A and B are shown apart, each in its own frame.
Chain A
Amino acid sequence: MNYRKTISAVCVGVFFLAFIPVFLWAEDGPGKLVMKTIDSGLTVLKEPSLKGPEKTQERRQRLWEEISFIFNFEEMSMRALGQHWKKRTQEEKKEFVELFTNILKDAYIGKTDTYSGEKIVFLREKQDGGKYATVQTKIITNAGTEILVDYRMLNNDGKWTIYDVIIEGVSLVNNYRSQFHNILLKSSYEDLIQKIKEKQDKEETSSK
Chain B
Amino acid sequence: MRKSVVVTFFFATVFFVVISWGENLSVLALAESSSEMGIYEKASDNNTINKDKEAGRTEPERAGSEETLFINTPVPEIPHDETARNVMTSGSDVTEKVEAEQSEPEPEMPYIYVKDPLEPFNRAMFTFNDKAFHYFFKPIYTGYNSMVPEKARVSVRNFYTNIKMPVRFFNCLFQANFKGAGTEMLRFVINSTVGVAGFFDPAKSKFHIEKQDRDFGQTLGKYKMESGTYFVWPFIGPSNTRDTIGLLGDGALNPITWISFFFLTPIESLGNYSYDTINDVSIDKGNTYESITKPAIDPYIALQDAYTQNRIKKIKESPDYNETID
| Residue B267 at the chain A interface, CB threshold 8 Å | no
Report A82 CB to chain B, min CB distance, Å. 7
Neighbouring B residues of A9 by C-beta, 8 Å:
8
Contact with B along A165-202 (1 / 0, CB 8 A): 01011110011111111110100000010011001000
Neighbouring A residues of B224 by C-beta, 8 Å:
none
Do residues A132 and B284 form an inter-chain contact, with CB atoms below 8 A? no
Neighbouring A residues of B314 by C-beta, 8 Å:
169
| Residue B226 at the chain A interface, CB threshold 8 Å | no
Neighbouring B residues of A166 by C-beta, 8 Å:
83
Do residues B325 and A121 form an inter-chain contact, with CB atoms below 8 A? no
Do residues B5 and A8 form an inter-chain contact, with CB atoms below 8 A? yes
| Residue B40 at the chain A interface, CB threshold 8 Å | yes
| Residue B304 at the chain A interface, CB threshold 8 Å | yes
- With contacts A86-B104, A171-B83 taken as known, whether A12 is within 8 angstroms of B291 at the C-beta atoms is no
- With contacts A174-B305, A175-B305, A199-B297 taken as known, whether A12 is within 8 angstroms of B80 at the C-beta atoms is no
Neighbouring A residues of B109 by C-beta, 8 Å:
79, 82, 177
Do residues B41 and A121 form an inter-chain contact, with CB atoms below 8 A? yes
| Residue A38 at the chain B interface, CB threshold 8 Å | yes
Neighbouring A residues of B305 by C-beta, 8 Å:
170, 174-175, 178-179
Report the separation of the CA atoms of residues A143 and B287 in the bound assembly, to the nearest whole angstrom: 13
Give B38-69 interface residues, CB cut-off 8 Å to A.
Answer: 38-45, 49, 53
Do residues A180 and B44 form an inter-chain contact, with CB atoms below 8 A? no
Report B108 CB to chain A, min CB distance, Å. 8
Report B235 CB to chain A, min CB distance, Å. 22
Neighbouring B residues of A15 by C-beta, 8 Å:
12, 16
Do residues B8 and A8 form an inter-chain contact, with CB atoms below 8 A? yes
Do residues A119 and B40 form an inter-chain contact, with CB atoms below 8 A? no
Do residues A178 and B78 form an inter-chain contact, with CB atoms below 8 A? no
Report the separation of the CA atoms of residues A144 and B81 in the bound assembly, to the nearest whole angstrom: 28
The count of residues in chain B whose C-beta lies closer than 8 Å to any C-beta of chain A is 65
Report the separation of the CA atoms of residues A86 and B109 in the bound assembly, to the nearest whole angstrom: 15
Report the separation of the CA atoms of residues A181 and B101 in the bound assembly, to the nearest whole angstrom: 11
- Chain A interface size range: 35 or more
Neighbouring A residues of B75 by C-beta, 8 Å:
124, 126
Do residues B4 and A5 form an inter-chain contact, with CB atoms below 8 A? yes
User: In the complex, what residue of chain A is closest to B150 when comparing beta carbons?
Assistant: A143
Please report the number of residue pairs spanning A and B whose Cβ atoms sit closer than 8 angstroms.
161
- With contacts A23-B23, A196-B297 taken as known, whether A175 is within 8 angstroms of B309 at the C-beta atoms is yes
Do residues B12 and A145 form an inter-chain contact, with CB atoms below 8 A? no
Do residues A38 and B83 form an inter-chain contact, with CB atoms below 8 A? no
| Residue B245 at the chain A interface, CB threshold 8 Å | no
Neighbouring B residues of A123 by C-beta, 8 Å:
39, 41, 325
Report B265 CB to chain A, min CB distance, Å. 32
Report the separation of the CA atoms of residues A162 and B97 in the bound assembly, to the nearest whole angstrom: 28
Report B63 CB to chain A, min CB distance, Å. 15
| Residue A122 at the chain B interface, CB threshold 8 Å | yes
| Residue A158 at the chain B interface, CB threshold 8 Å | no
| Residue B173 at the chain A interface, CB threshold 8 Å | no
Contact with B along A133-164 (1 / 0, CB 8 A): 01010101011111010101000000000000
Report A21 CB to chain B, min CB distance, Å. 11
Report A35 CB to chain B, min CB distance, Å. 5
User: In the complex, what residue of chain A is closest to B26 when comparing beta carbons?
Assistant: A23
Do residues A121 and B42 form an inter-chain contact, with CB atoms below 8 A? yes
**A: which residues have CB within 8 A of B?**
1, 4-5, 8-9, 11-12, 15-16, 19, 22-23, 26, 29, 31, 35, 38-39, 42, 79, 82-83, 86, 103-104, 106-108, 111, 117, 119-128, 132, 134, 136, 138, 140, 142-146, 148, 150, 152, 166, 168-171, 174-183, 185, 192, 195-196, 199
The 8 closest A-B pairs by CB, nearest first: A169-B313, A107-B295, A178-B305, A8-B8, A170-B309, A179-B298, A170-B306, A179-B301
**B: which residues have CB within 8 A of A?**
1, 4-5, 8, 11-12, 15-16, 19-20, 23, 26, 30, 34, 37-45, 49, 53, 75, 78, 80-81, 83-84, 97, 100-101, 104, 106, 108-109, 111-112, 150, 153-154, 204, 283-284, 291-292, 294-298, 301-302, 304-306, 309-310, 312-314, 325-326
